Structures are given as structure tokens and as C-alpha cells.
Structure 1
């Protein structure tokens, strides 16, 4: 299997490209191996890439003034990662991207992405559709954080992302849910007792 096979399948979910266009789309992406615990992006750096995960797992997070990590999302195979604000505006990143496993990604830089927009107008549509889906997911997550209990948010996360949840520690899931590790343990205990 070629490194770009998963990328091609991802693109095909959103837009139709001819074999020639698909080859042109994949050409500027470069393969990068990322070791477990390696930071792909640090807060303060300018994000010069968007990346597609072909193998592994990442956490995308922000560290507050007290040193607490707040995880925005996890990304596994067939997900995209980056700091969209930093990448788009070429300003210092507020997010960190860290590999939770030995991983492989396909990277594209801003110049090559802009070139694809010009050469293949369908690509602009692709990233617009993906951007809209990301915005919808973030909006739903924000509303859930405002209106659901921690128990409900945990159950929803486990139901929605069972394969991702299996690859994470309780501490990582707690940081995603915005609760303490101890509180997550209480929630899990309560769920087990109900069964």
C-alpha cells in the first residue's frame, strides 16, 4: 500500500478527482515519521504545515498560564492536524501537537497548498468542506461542554470514538473532557456499578 492511499481515500469522501488530478494533488505532500512524545508543533512557533495522519495518534492541545494542558482533539489515521490560525495567518501557534505513538504523517506547506488551489480549483472546495465539518464538530463540542455533565461528555466520547479511547490514558481523556483524572475515575466507577 502506498503512503498516499489513505489520503486519496480521504479526499474521495469529499470530492471527485480524476486519476491525473489525484496524482497532482498528492505530489506536494512529503512523508514524515514522528516518534512517540515528539512535538510536531510547539506553542510560539509558526505552523508551516497541515498534515494528514497515515499512522499513529496525536494530541492537539493548549497549555494555560497554570501549566494545565487542555486537549482540543486527538487525531488518528485518516485525520488532519495543524494549527489553523497559525497556518492561515502565519502567526505564532497557540497550540502544541504531540505524537502519542510512533506515527507517520503526510505534510503540505502553505505555498504548495496555495499552488494546488490555483492548479486544481476542486481542492479549494475540498478544504472548504473539511473546514466546515471541523467547525461543526468544534461547535458541537463547545455546546456539549456548556450543556452536558462530565458523565454525559465521557459517555459521548467513548461512544463516538471507541477506537481512539482505547489508545489513550485516563489522564489524556480527562484533559480532553476538562476534568481531573480523579473525577474521571469516579465517573468510570459509577458507570461500571450501573451495569
Structure 2
């Protein structure tokens, strides 16, 4: 990954590194190119890594006991994705991560992250801030799901993921919003008529 030093700077925006620190970082981040339709993770898998999305789009979803899909997260450029419940607890995955648009990712293992924390303390601070923001975003999403109607949730989705509708299937969006595809079509029709 030595030729990808600029990618390290893109991943860790606003952080300055010495040449030695960049060398350390490049030894633990691994570039992965994946095609649309690839399943990176499935239920029951051991989760030892998470991914930075340089390009593409991914989806993390759970299938309930009735066979219904629930999209938990879309991952787009400059986002991170994993089954974090399993990643942090050491348990097996309960989610599936699917590549829904060809992607270039940078993968790092939990052990390698811990290694970076010990070697370069500003990286631990960087990930702590990322985790705090992600936790707050998930909490806002839960509150929206509890307190907003489907149209309001859809409008928030479009604001959060402004260009994603061209890349994903309607049933993916519907499963993220907790509605049927028919309801999603009706919501879009109603918005277009206003």
C-alpha cells in the first residue's frame, strides 16, 4: 500500500503524520476491490475487521425470524461499515454486509486497530470521535423511527444519502425506512405532486 499514502491522508482527514507513522499505518490497512453482489459478511461469521469505503456503496442488513430484511446501514464514500455488535463484543455476526455497487475498501482488523492505538495515539482519538458521531447518528435514527411518519423518515433518508437512490433498489430503501415498496412508491408520488 506504499503507493497509496495519499489514501491514508484521505482516510484520516485533518491528521498529520510523520513518514514513520505512515509506514506503520500502511502495514495494517489493506486495499480490497469488490464487485457488486459480493457478500462481505454473513450471519454466524466471525467479525474481526471493519472497512473504510473509498468508493462504492454497501448495505448492512439483518433478516428477522420471519424472513423480513431490515437494512440497518448504507455505507457510502468516506464511511465505515461492519457488524459493530459482533466486532466490539467478539460474538458472531448477526448481520449481512452486501456490496450493492462496485467498491474500493480499506480493511483493518480489530487487532491492528489496537496496535495503531498503541503506536499512534492520535488515531485512537480519531476513532473515538468517529464512534461517538456514529453512536449519535444511530440514536437519532432510532428516535426518528419512533417519532416520525414514513414520509418524514424518507425525507431524512434523502438528506442523509443524497445520491444513493440511483445506486440501490427500492426494496433496500423500503427496508431501511421500515415500509413496504408500495408505501415507498406512494410517498414518492405524494412528494412529487406537492
TM-score by length of 1: 0.91
Structure 1, 154-163 or 183-192: larger mean CA deviation: 154-163
Q: 1:3 and 1:76 mapped to 2: Cα distance?
A: 20
Map of 1:1-150 to 2, 5 A cutoff? Answer: 3=4, 5-13=6-14, 15-150=15-150
Residues 8, 22 of structure 2: 8 Å contact kept: no
Residues 5, 22 of structure 2: 8 Å contact kept: no
Residues 47, 90 of structure 1: 8 Å contact kept: yes
Residues 35, 101 of structure 2: 8 Å contact kept: yes
Residues 57, 101 of structure 2: 8 Å contact kept: yes
Q: 2:163 and 2:69 mapped to 1: Cα distance?
A: 22
Q: 2:45 and 2:164 mapped to 1: Cα distance?
A: 27
Say how many residue pairs are matched.
192
TM-score by length of 2: 0.92
Counterpart in the other structure of 1:169: 169
SS at match of 2:12: helix
What 5-or-longer segments of structure 1 have no aligned partner? Answer: none
Cα distance change, pair 16–129 in 1 and its aligned pair in 2 (3 A): farther
Aligned-pair distance for 1:41? 0.4
Cα distance change, pair 4–99 in 1 and its aligned pair in 2 (3 A): farther
What 5-or-longer segments of structure 2 have no aligned partner? Answer: none
Offset from partner CA, 1:108-144 (integer Å, 9 cap, x none): 1122111111111111111111100000100110010
Cα distance change, pair 79–5 in 1 and its aligned pair in 2 (3 A): farther
Q: 1:144 and 1:31 mapped to 2: Cα distance?
A: 35
Structure 1, 181-190 or 15-24: larger mean CA deviation: 15-24
Cα distance change, pair 186–57 in 1 and its aligned pair in 2 (3 A): same
CA RMSD of aligned residues (A): 1.6
Runs of 4+ in 1 over 6 A off after TM superposition: none
